Structure 1
Amino acid sequence: MESFDEPHVARSCLSATTSGGRRAVLLTADGVRIDAAYDPPDGERDVAIVVAHGFTGALERPAVRRAAQVFSGYGGVVTFSFRGHGRSGGRSTVGDREVLDLTAAVGWARSLGYARVATVGFSMGGSVVLRQAAGAQGDADGRVDAVASVSAPARWYYRGTAPMRRVHWAITRPAGRLVSRVGLRTRIHSAEWDPVPLSPVESVPLIAPTPLLIVHGDRDGYFPVDHPLSLAAAAGGAADLWLEPGFGHAENAAEPELLRRIGAWVAARTA
């Protein structure tokens, strides 16, 4: 499977206005059609927040819609479904080519007139926002102004918890990919990574001086706290680290109060 090497932007965007916002189909640099939506801000805001969901998520899922609703108090919000998820085309590469999907969404946010764009990613999306920010330095359309990574892994191939062993079964086994496609509406690429993409912990040192927030729960059943600690250490003091008592994993566990704090952090760092 070909890995992400350079920042790319969407080559085209087909969009339509809907009540309260806009839906779009974005075309990534490698030709995958990505389902996306835009929610306008609640009031006058000049920053866009691009939300990157976790594995098996999609822009229509209640947890993603809840995050979009909260974040609209701090800026315009772009949500999208990663390749292989929801109504988007292609097949999931579980964090590799998804960087192109995010870059397409960032480019669309800028085309909507936002000079400042922040990314907020959850779990798999949390790893993608780190890799995208690291690779998009110096690229006008793909560059971001702040990054928040929530419940992200620090390294690839982690199997230290039962939930992650189930995830790896779903990714690597034909029966697992069938269950994912039928039951979770997630279509997974069967090819292994070749080469292995830059890991989140390897990406973090390349993000500065872009503001970076790392958020993780002490009850995360997928990735224990050594993952956010590793990410923060790799940032060399250039990241804010929130270890949240009682917080579980990703967007499904993120309560409105935590989402509001993340939105306020984005607004403060992009002011």
Structure 2
Amino acid sequence: MNQGPAGHVTRSFNRPLAETAPRAERRTFLRTVDGVTIDALYEPGKGTSASPSELSGDLSGDLSGGHFRATSGELAIVVAHGFTGDLDRPHVRRVAGLLAEHAAVVTFSFRGHGASGGLSTVGDREVLDLAAAVAWARELGHTRVATVGFSMGGSVVLRHAAMHRRGPAHGPAQEQVGRTGAYTDAVASVSAPARWYYRGTKPMRRLHWVVTRPLGRTISRYGLRTRIHHRDWDPVPLSPVESVPLIAPTPLLIVHGELDGYFPLDHPRMLAAAGEDHAELWLEAGMGHAEHAADDALLGRIGAWAASAAG
């Protein structure tokens, strides 16, 4: 499936928040450049007291009203969940809550997941979904944005950072690739594959069956609440390991569990090697795969790294 430019954000669709939600939360649908509606949620950091009147950005049509303005220089972390996740899943909410100790947090559901539209392409066009979420964070006034992705989301944050780079010769507001506003200031990729079509473990063979077989896609739709596109990639997108060298000089963190049952340790080592001196590698003893395996302490360290690395 062809790659496209960064997501263009519109808010033609809006969802009211639960009555118990903090005033400064915003939940809405973003629209990607290829026309897919993406369910997204903004939450201010726990150390801030931002309210609708303190935030900026044109949110005309938002049901809760008001304008948003993030505190100058405040960091936003955009979370890219793993395959079959969505922003309402308990493990994604846990990640968001812990990262909110360090920054404002944007969570969203990839296409084909949860309340978002479209069909999952399992890491290809999902880069457009992430671009829309990052651009939204900047529209809300955040001048620093970091991306943190898990498993499939970990591969997406790598490809996104490679495609949307801020050129040092052009100043802080202009990207070398893609639409202004969709670039990231720091990238953390957790439990990501280094290469496509890996089938070396039983969980990955099972995942490939789900993605490639009609019965598997039916099971995914009704059992996992994930709608998968039936077409193969055409062309095959740039792989995560091919993306890493293009990310520099943006700070990059690679995190992987030593007990990951999906992708063995050659994957994170390949990613780190591709980054040479640019990428930082954390191999976590006793950790399995992705959000479920990342304990509170690790997520706290990732949040602190993002706050520091994003400048």
Quickly name the TM-score band, shorter chain normalised: over 0.9
**Higher radius of gyration, 1 or 2:** 2
Tell me the secondary structure at the aligned position of residue 229 of structure 1: helix
User: Which of 3, 8, 11 is 1:10 aligned to?
Assistant: 8
Identical-pair percentage: 65
User: Which of 215, 220, 232 is 1:175 aligned to?
Assistant: 215
Give the deviation of 1:3 after TM superposition.
2.3
Residue in 1 that maps onto 2:280:
240
The answer to whether residue 137 in structure 2 is matched with residue 109 in structure 1 is yes
Give the deviation of 1:140 after TM superposition.
2.5
Give the deviation of 1:209 after TM superposition.
0.3
Give 1 or 2: higher strand fraction: 1
The answer to whether residue 75 in structure 2 is matched with residue 47 in structure 1 is yes
| Cα distance in 2 for residues equivalent to 1:93 and 1:147 | 22
Residue in 2 that maps onto 1:266:
306
Residue in 2 that maps onto 1:119:
147
* Residues 15 and 22 in structure 1, CA contact (< 8 A), matched pair in contact too: no
| Cα distance in 1 for residues equivalent to 2:39 and 2:189 | 22
Residue in 2 that maps onto 1:31:
35
If the length of structure 1 is used for normalisation, what is the TM-score? 0.97
* Residues 9 and 136 in structure 2, CA contact (< 8 A), matched pair in contact too: no
| Cα distance in 1 for residues equivalent to 2:201 and 2:47 | 43
* Residues 126 and 149 in structure 1, CA contact (< 8 A), matched pair in contact too: yes
Residue in 2 that maps onto 1:211:
251
The answer to whether residue 108 in structure 2 is matched with residue 80 in structure 1 is yes
Q: CA RMSD in A?
A: 1.1
Tell me the secondary structure at the aligned position of residue 304 of structure 2: helix
| Cα distance in 1 for residues equivalent to 2:301 and 2:9 | 34
In structure 2, do the counterparts of structure 1 residues 105 and 231 end up closer, same or farther at CA, with 3 Å as the change threshold? same
Give the deviation of 1:17 after TM superposition.
6.2
CA displacement, residues 221-267 of structure 1 (integer Å, 9 cap, x when unaligned): 00000000000000011011000000000011111110000000001
Residue in 2 that maps onto 1:143:
183
Consecutive unaligned residues of structure 2, counting only runs of 5 or more, are: 49-70, 166-174
* Residues 256 and 268 in structure 2, CA contact (< 8 A), matched pair in contact too: yes
| Cα distance in 1 for residues equivalent to 2:77 and 2:8 | 17
Quick one: which amino acid aligns to residue 3 of structure 2?
A: F
| Cα distance in 2 for residues equivalent to 1:255 and 1:243 | 14
Tell me the secondary structure at the aligned position of residue 148 of structure 2: strand
Residue in 1 that maps onto 2:64:
none
| Cα distance in 2 for residues equivalent to 1:132 and 1:201 | 13
Residue in 1 that maps onto 2:84:
56
CA displacement, residues 80-130 of structure 1 (integer Å, 9 cap, x when unaligned): 000000110000000000000000000111111100100000000000000
Runs of 4+ aligned residues of structure 1 deviating over 2 Å after TM superposition are 13-18
Give the deviation of 1:27 after TM superposition.
0.2
| Cα distance in 2 for residues equivalent to 1:75 and 1:11 | 22
Give the deviation of 1:11 after TM superposition.
3.7
Tell me the secondary structure at the aligned position of residue 12 of structure 1: coil
Quick one: which amino acid aligns to residue 219 of structure 1?
A: L
* Residues 186 and 310 in structure 2, CA contact (< 8 A), matched pair in contact too: yes
CA displacement, residues 30-81 of structure 1 (integer Å, 9 cap, x when unaligned): 0000001011111147000000000000000111000100011111000000
CA displacement, residues 148-207 of structure 1 (integer Å, 9 cap, x when unaligned): 000000000000000000000000000000000000000000000010000000000000
Quick one: which amino acid aligns to residue 222 of structure 1?
A: Y
| Cα distance in 1 for residues equivalent to 2:138 and 2:198 | 35
Quick one: which amino acid aligns to residue 133 of structure 2?
A: A
User: Which of 26, 32, 52 is 1:22 aligned to?
Assistant: 26
| Cα distance in 1 for residues equivalent to 2:8 and 2:260 | 34
| Cα distance in 2 for residues equivalent to 1:112 and 1:15 | 16
